[in-house]
Structure 1
Amino acid sequence: MMENINLVKHSYKDDCIFLLKDLTDKIQEITIQEKEELIRSGVSYSEMISKESIPSEDIKNIFLNILNRDKRLIAYYVAKISEIIYRQKGNNLVIVSLARAGTPYGILIKRYLKLKYKVDIPHYSISIIRGKGIDANALKYILTENKKADIQFVDGWTGKGSITKELNKSIDIFNNENKTNIDNSLAVISDPAKLCKVCGTREDFGIATCCLNSTVSGLISRTIHNEKYIGKDEFHGAKTLYYLKDEDYSQYFIDKIDNELKKISIKYEDLVLESIDKEYSMKIVNKVRELYDVNNINNIKLSVGESARVLLRRDPRVVLVKNKSDKNIEHILKLAEEKGVKVIEYKDSDYNCISIINER
């Protein structure tokens, strides 16, 4: 399969194989306004891609400040997740990060396990799309290449849990159709949705990587699945955003956290599996939906990470924050200011940030 597909290029040194078809010169970027109109007309967000803007100096500085402030904490969360999944799956472990927010954390888990246990665990990054599911061709490839694979899916954070639910559904279908037994669990750094047993924290905190898009994700665009460009036996696609190469912090972020991994020691009592509450995030969504008269729940995004994504690449109507003085949301307030989006304090939730996308 890979022999016939030109895989997308990325800016990481190594530690990840992106199973994504290169669409860099094939699909044209559109404006955010054009994208919103197409989505409102019923076209899947995955069939198009909007142009990514250069991060402002303010946002880059906030990213660097958050990274310097939280580098030890992120390293601790990475180490904690790594220990749990390696104890569960051993040397048959194969890390499969969800492109693209999961990719840096998949790389760091691989780095930690190499440092601590001297093992070289395979790491792939593949696409999953709300409403279309996971890239089944990429999964088949991974299983062909790794006969005893015990897959662990990895992402950066949970919002309201749409991708977690999509993953569960997709893997159930894949297992039934292919007579496989892939574990559909997801490991994340931050799990405010309370949907992952393996997570660094349940706190909705501002992970440094949510400040930026491709420039902290190997210069890879959001993943694309449009039948005009992707054949039925091909991997989902992505573009390499070469025009942002001078703004790229992808490898810098990895090296910064990797340097902290050497200093982390994990105690046995840290390795707890969390309980899951499947109803929690939807209770919050329904409260917000009623309060702000939102038609489509897909237009309500929970968490600091998801709110940053909305401000970076969607058309936000309003942002709700628990506490405007919280250092975790400094980048959210700056992005909202840059886009002229109203920010309102909303305390009726454990989430530090919630955003609502325009439906007009």
Structure 2
Amino acid sequence: MLEFLKSYISGISLTHLPMFAIAWCFLFAAAIASYGYQYYLVRKDLSFFGFLKHCFPLHTWRDKSSYIDIMMYFVSKYTKAIVLLGHIALVLLVSGGVNAILGVVFEGYVAQTAGVITIIVFSALSCVVWDFSNFLSHYLQHKVPFLWEIHKVHHSATQLTPFTSKRLHPLADKLDLTIGGVLVGILFGFGQHIYDFSVADMVIMLGNMNMIVTIAVMDPLRHSQFPISFGPLEAIFISPRMHHLHHSVKLEHWDKNMGFALAIWDRMFGTYCRAKTGEAYVYGIGRGADVDLEYQSVYGAYVHPVVKSIKVLTGVEAPQPMPELPNDAYDGAVPLSASMTAREVVQRLRRRRLHFG
């Protein structure tokens, strides 16, 4: 059975696909589509430099926030490897423990042979569990005050770029993988006992399905200037536009849309929020530009959050409440390209009696 499983999985493995390449392919595809759509609407002259400006807005990439995104992206390439070692060890420990307990409880059980359908179902189930673990970690980082101090690094981004996805403190990464390691490890323990899957086999199954889901929900565009909406499907899946709303500083958007791929967790926990037509967002922590600036440096991104977290945890500093700025404090303060469709951009420009070119 294992030989069949390994040969089947190796034939469809997607885990070798580089996420960096996928992310930038998505970005350029979205840029081409939206640039072409704007041309269709207003018949603006097409140009290579116009496309580059559309794809890489200067106001975004000149912002100090974007420099920190890029710095943290490259640092994460080293810190992630260390964190992953602990994650792998935890998965092995938990799955082995669950398998041993099941072996005692169901003594004499003979593992079943897994067919193609079983492999697909188990892959999907493992992806659902992984998605819930990501939601749970994210939810805790928003709701637990000392964890929020760590997660603030991510929300201090005042511009969204493809590099913002790696704007995470290593401790936040550690929490994500610890919760994921426990929940996925439990499922893997059942997989070992019922079907005699090895952990390596199940990791590949999870990796394959997770890659498919990542592409399906356009995850690389969650942190970009392209507010892709899934329409009615947003009742089930988290679209890039829904994640843009999650980064909004408005009170009505605070602690909303914390899911990665599935929106069902947000519905269950009361954190679901659909974006309104024509809605635009300002990004940041929500306590003013001065607070956002505290995190726009190496010290602010790595040391400051730990210091703040310890102070909150030990009671030296009271946790900050939700932002006190009213919802209309940021109205009209966002660039036209921030979180609008091409049609909405054109409508707003026409209302202001402005013209392209």
Q: TM-score interval w.r.t. the shorter chain?
A: under 0.3
TM-score normalised by length of structure 1: 0.27
TM-score by length of 2: 0.27
Structure with higher strand content: 1
Q: Which has the higher helix share?
A: 2
Instruction: Find the structure with the greater CA-based Rg.
Output: 2
